[in-house]
Structure 1
Amino acid sequence: MWYLFYRFKGLCLDAIYRCNKYHLIIETPPIPKPNQPRIRKKTAPHISPAVRGISAATMRPAVSTPTAILLVDIQEGFKHPTHWGESRSTPSFESNVEAILSAARAYNTRLETNHATATDPAPAPADAGSTPSQHAVQIIHIHHHSLSPTSALHPTHRIAGSSTPSVAANPCAAPRPHEAVLVKHHNSSFVGTDLEARLRAAGVRQLVVLGLTTDHCVSTTVRFAANLQVLGGEGGPDGNGEGVHGVVVVRDATATFARGGFDAETVHAVSLASLDGEFAQVVETKDVLGALGALGALGA
């Protein structure tokens, strides 16, 4: 027995010697004394984007940057009381979507009015950074038609107590006749649709994404947009195809539901954090309204 004890002790000392020799460090947690309360590790403090090396989220004015508003899956089926989860994030979602959509439409109306009343159709030469864009803001609605018969977004389903299809648009984002409506069957708005071709043909350089749900179709669409470089091929700061590509996600005009024991606001926040600074810029509704020249519309 004593032989085994000293043999084991020798092996331990030999291991410590080798660790010190090769500069390896073995850390063992301290053993708390009886009745001593455990000390929990503090969570890391919030670090601002600027400190992390990510520039603060900014939007370029629509007047100088061809812009598109992409409304993802803002449909009646997401009002189902039990299908999606216990609760939804972003209480101001509908009002913010409505404000952004109204501002984009008003911007286009102003542009049309200016063109109709202009006496000189050829604008005076301007600096490259401030050249007015002659493009209207593209407004594109994405509607999900699930292939699963059990989904609340299957085309055959109706809103409880009514004849309204669950795939119908939420009233806050009801399309107008001249606005594009693309139907998808997958998480990404780029799969099975002509969205990529539309954005490239229109020369869009700023894509503003709002809709449902943050962690599913919004996130997948944003990642596709960045990876496909649909807004240009310059890539990130190193030109390596990574980083922000003019894709913008609106924090308070996107929403999701509670999942896996996590509350809806936590799922929403973590989903946006995983996109911010790499696949997109995350902004607020007020930033979008500012880019559309309509800050007065917020809270109206």
Structure 2
Amino acid sequence: MDAAPIALLVVDVQRAFDLWEAEGQRRNNPDAVARIVDLLAAFRRSQRPILHIRHASQRPSSYFSPDAAGYPVKDEAREIAGEPVIVKRVNSAFIGTDLEAQLRAANIRSLVICGATTNHCVETTTRMAGNLGFDAWLVRDATWTFDRIGPDGERHTAEEIHAMTLSNLHREFARVVRTSEVIERLGTEP
């Protein structure tokens, strides 16, 4: 990671998830957004590319609909001038967008991926990054998910889902790392 061109992908850090929590949905990794803020600061200090991904649902009733209160990015993870925002309509940030073309044009070979949710858009984007030949680094403490009910009616905790997703992706599609490891490799400790 030290010498290779690398970029940070910040996936779907949108207010919709705050609304989910306000309705009582339980999540894991309560400090994930703080770790995303740490990653943003480290990439900005090192002057490395950051790409922000936003989900724009095509369902008018979705919190992620462009007209909904949940669509805007959380203030802590807001882009600054020069940091592109890529809007997607499906789980993968590579489908229906120019993300891959932007990365290839900039000669980016490695991606540090963070955001929400671990088992949906983060996982799908990470899988595709690996399949497309990028060296993907999934940041375990800068991602989160929510409890879910399975098809058999069994409740699965956010912690279980998060751990299983990381296990599925590790070594096959990505390296699973912590924020501190990424910052150390970037050499941008404050």
- Scaled by the length of structure 1, what TM-score is found? 0.59
Looking at structure 1, the residues matched to 160 and 113 of structure 2 have their Cα atoms a distance apart, in angstroms, of 20
**Cα distance, 1:203–1:148 mapped onto 2, change above 3 Å:** same
1:174 aligns with 2:85: no
Aligned length: 185
1:85 Cα offset (Å): 6.6
Offset of residue 228 of structure 1: 2.1
For 1:285 and 1:98, the matched residues in 2 are separated by 10
In terms of fraction of residues, the more strand-rich structure is 2
Is 1:204 the counterpart of 2:88? The answer is no
Unmatched runs of 5 consecutive residues or more in structure 2: 150-154
AA of the residue aligned to 1:186? V
Task: Say if 1:80 and 1:73 are closer, same or farther in 2 by CA, change over 3 A.
Answer: same
Matching residue of 2:29: 90
Q: Distance in 1 between matches of 2:62 and 2:145?
A: 16
Per-residue Cα deviation, 1:227-284 (whole angstroms, up to 9, x for no partner): 122x3xxxxxxxxxxxxxx111000001110111111111111111100010000000
Larger Rg: 1
Q: Does 1:152 align with 2:63?
A: yes
Which residue in the other structure is 1:143 paired with? Answer: 54
Residues 85, 258 of structure 1: 8 Å contact kept: no
Q: Determine what percentage of the aligned residue pairs are the same residue.
A: 42
Distance in 2, matches of 1:99 and 1:213, equals: 18
TM-score by length of 2: 0.93
| Structure with the larger RCO, 1 or 2 (CA within 8 Å, 6+ apart) | 2
Q: Residue type matched to 1:174 in 2?
A: R
Distance 1:154 1:294, change over 3 A: same
The two structures, once aligned, show a CA RMSD in angstroms of 1.5
The aligned residue for residue 17 of structure 1 is none
Q: Kindly report structure 1 stretches of 4+ aligned residues shifted beyond 6 Å.
A: none
- Give 1:183 shift: 0.5
> 1:81 offset after TM fit, Å?
3.5
